[in-house]
Amino acid sequence: MDNGIRISVSKLQQTLLMLFVLAPFLFPTGLQYSSSFAFFFDVILYYWRIAACGTSLLLFFYRSFKKQITLPTVLFFICICSLFFSTIIQHASISSFLSAWGGFFCFYVGAEIFLNKCPVLLCKVMKGWLEIIVIINLITLVVFPGGIPMDRIVYLGADSLYVWFWGFKNSICNLIIPYYAFSMTLNYLMQKKGRFPLLFPSVLSLVTAILSHSTTLLVSVIAIIVLLLLKNLKVIRTHINPRNMAVIGVCFSVLIVFFNIQNNFSWLIEGVLGKDLSLSNRTLLWGYALQDISRSPFFGYGVQTSTTFGLTRYALAFSHCHNAILTLLYQGGLISLISYGVFFVYSIFKSESDSVLGYDYGLLLFIQLIIHISGSITGVGLFLILILISNMNKLEMIRANHNSLERVNEKSH
């Protein structure tokens, strides 16, 4: 049965695309230059990464626009383009942008072809490799929650190993884990009839965020537990739909940003758990961002170039105050933020409240929104949401086809 996901490509196209996909992960940039050859090799990899991620983005949008031009696809395209051109305007590293935002699609498309075209044994080997990578990453985050201390690296005389490990770890966190979660979700939808088919990416992102950051996600955990409990109550379930969740999510974010809920109750959490739940640094970053946007003639487009906000980028990196929405704002300005907002609201209102998949999907969006605001995870979860939104109709079709096929098989027996 054709599930609508497989794509037909030639052997040459498969080979080239897989080379494009594997190169950025096998050879991370930032190597220690011990010779002129190493420098030349790294420059080649720089442009290789640009070609790889750029090709994947073009292929992704070609596949999206080829079938049907919809409002979500157009908004998604505007959001990506504003981020891309903002990066070019501010003369930042195009390679870092494409590897972070486009590399996911590169791995997504390449692995899709790989899993669909290769023998079953090879697919099992790749799946096992991904599982090992996830386990190693989680163990590393538990042992070194704040990253491997530099003094240990210098003491061991392994500076280059540190650079390699850091690039490898970033590739795992930014690309492999989201793809693994997405592929597991697809497999679950195709094989199971469970009521929680789309919660796996949220749970995995939540666990990764808890292990990788010193700031606790107690607020998110409590919200998730409460929602799961409410979902099992049939009486309350009728009053909880994606629209209500979107409204609750917006109100929750406004309360956090403007009234500093976590700061007001930090004495309770810090006293009991010994965790720093302060949002003061993040509030400061939002203040700088809003000031720079008010001075920008293009609604904050390329706001990252300004001196005031540029100085706070270090706080973004080292104090764990960043989140996906703030990243979207300071890289793409209000153009990206408004596009994503319309995209988010449109997707919420298009999902059917009486559909099990639509209900689970709305719950996933709400959980991810809370995690992004209070959990300080990177922008990967944001684009995981966008991919799930763009594939929602496809997921519903796969599930409907699978259920109808099962009914036919039951009648035949």
User: Is the pLDDT score of 338 beyond 60?
Assistant: yes
Give the domain ranges of the chain.
17-115, 118-191, 194-413
pLDDT attached to residue 84: 52
User: Is the pLDDT score of 109 beyond 60?
Assistant: no
Q: How far is CA 162 from the centre of its chain?
A: 24
Distance, in Å, from the CA atom of 334 to the CA atom of 47, rounded to the nearest integer, reads 30
202: confidence class by pLDDT, cuts 50, 70, 90 = very low
Identity of residue 77: F
Helices (DSSP H) in 68-119: which residue ranges? 71-89, 94-97, 103-117
User: What is the mean predicted confidence (pLDDT) over 299-309?
Assistant: 45
Q: Which element (helix H / strand E) includes 271?
A: helix 266-273
pLDDT attached to residue 55: 53
Closest CA to 145 of 322, 303, 275: 275
pLDDT attached to residue 80: 56
280: confidence class by pLDDT, cuts 50, 70, 90 = very low
Residue tagged 């209070």 (tokens): 374
Q: Is the dihedral of CA 47, 50, 53, 54 positive or negative?
A: negative
Q: What are phi and psi of 238, to 5 degrees?
A: -70, -25
pLDDT attached to residue 66: 60
Report pLDDT digits (tens) over 138-163.
444 445 444 444 343 333 333 333 33
Identity of residue 177: I
pLDDT attached to residue 346: 56
Output the CA–CA distances (angstroms, integers) from residue 264 to 116, 172, 275, in the order listed: 52, 36, 14
The Cα angle at residue 120 between residues 396 and 27, in degrees rounded to 5? 90
User: Is the pLDDT score of 290 beyond 60?
Assistant: yes
350: confidence class by pLDDT, cuts 50, 70, 90 = low
Report pLDDT digits (tens) over 12-27.
444 444 444 444 444 4
Contacts of 390 (CB under 8 A, 6+ apart): 64, 72, 73, 76
User: Is the pLDDT score of 326 beyond 50?
Assistant: yes
pLDDT attached to residue 347: 52
Q: How far is CA 122 from the centre of its chain?
A: 27
Q: Best-predicted range by mean pLDDT among 67-71, 94-98, 153-157, 208-212?
A: 67-71
User: What is the mean predicted confidence (pLDDT) over 188-207?
Assistant: 44
Contacts of 308 (CB under 8 A, 6+ apart): 288, 291, 292
* Mean pLDDT for all residues in the chain: 47
Distance, in Å, from the CA atom of 210 to the CA atom of 204, rounded to the nearest integer, reads 10
pLDDT attached to residue 155: 33
Query: Is the pTM value of this prediction over 0.75?
Result: no
Could you count the other beta carbons within 10 Å of the beta carbon of residue 246? Answer: 20
User: What is the mean predicted confidence (pLDDT) over 248-267?
Assistant: 47
User: Is the pLDDT score of 337 beyond 60?
Assistant: yes
Could you count the other beta carbons within 10 Å of the beta carbon of residue 119? Answer: 8
pLDDT attached to residue 308: 45
Q: Is the dihedral of CA 214, 310, 287, 78 positive or negative?
A: negative
Residue tagged 């319309």 (tokens): 342
pLDDT attached to residue 354: 44
**CA torsion, ordered 409, 353, 398, 187, to nearest 10 deg:** -100
- Name the token pair of 111: 């692995």
Report pLDDT digits (tens) over 359-371.
444 444 444 444 4
pLDDT attached to residue 397: 57
Counting Cβ atoms within 10 Å, is residue 146 exposed (0-12), middle (13-18) or buried (19+)? exposed
Report pLDDT digits (tens) over 162-186.
333 444 444 444 434 444 444 444 4
Helices (DSSP H) in 213-312: which residue ranges? 218-231, 234-237, 242-259, 261-264, 266-273, 280-295, 307-311
